[in-house]
Amino acid sequence: MALAIFTKAGNAESPLTLPKGRFLPNSDPYTPNQLRGIAGGGQVKIADLGDAEHMWECRFLRISKTDRTAIIDFLQDTTVNYAENTFTFTDEDAVAHTVRWWDKKVDYPHIKGNLYNVIITLREEIT
C-alpha cells in the first residue's frame, strides 16, 4: 500500500505525502442524514434530509515535529483555510476523494520521544 497524500493546487505544501500509513483500525463511517421519531400512536416517522455523510478519521501516530508542522501548514494555507475549501485526499489504495477538514480545533499532542499524534477528521464533499 502507498501512503496517503493531501493535494491542493497552489498550496505551498502540496502534494503532502503523509509520513505513515493511517493507524489501524481505520474508520470511515457513513452517517445517514435522517431525522427519526415516533408519532403519538407509536408509528415510526423518518424525514430523509439528503445524502449520507462519509467521514474518515485519519490517525498518524508518533510522527516528527517537522511532519506535524507540514500538516498544519497545509491546512492553514489560504488555498485550504481549514474547513473553508476542499482538497484532495488520496488514500492508501490510490483512490482520490474530494474532502474538507472537519475538526473543530487543531490539537496534535506532543508525546514521549519528541513525537506527535495527529488525528484528523475528513468529510467527503457531497456534490
CATH code for the structural domain at 5-124: 2.40.30
Cα torsion angle, 93, 126, 98, 28, sign: negative
Q: Is pLDDT at 100 greater than 70 in this prediction?
A: yes
Q: Is pLDDT at 7 greater than 80 in this prediction?
A: yes
Domain boundaries along the sequence of the chain = 5-124
Q: Is pLDDT at 27 greater than 70 in this prediction?
A: no
* Backbone dihedral angles phi then psi of residue 49, each to the nearest 5 degrees: -100, 5
Exposure string of 39-53, with b = 16+ CB inside 10 Å and e = fewer, is eeeeeeeeeeeeeee
Least confident of 22-26, 71-75, 91-95: 22-26
Q: Which residue do the cell numbers 474538507 mark?
A: 100
pTM across the whole model: 0.81
How many Å separate Cα 72 from the centre of its chain?
13
DSSP state of 76: H
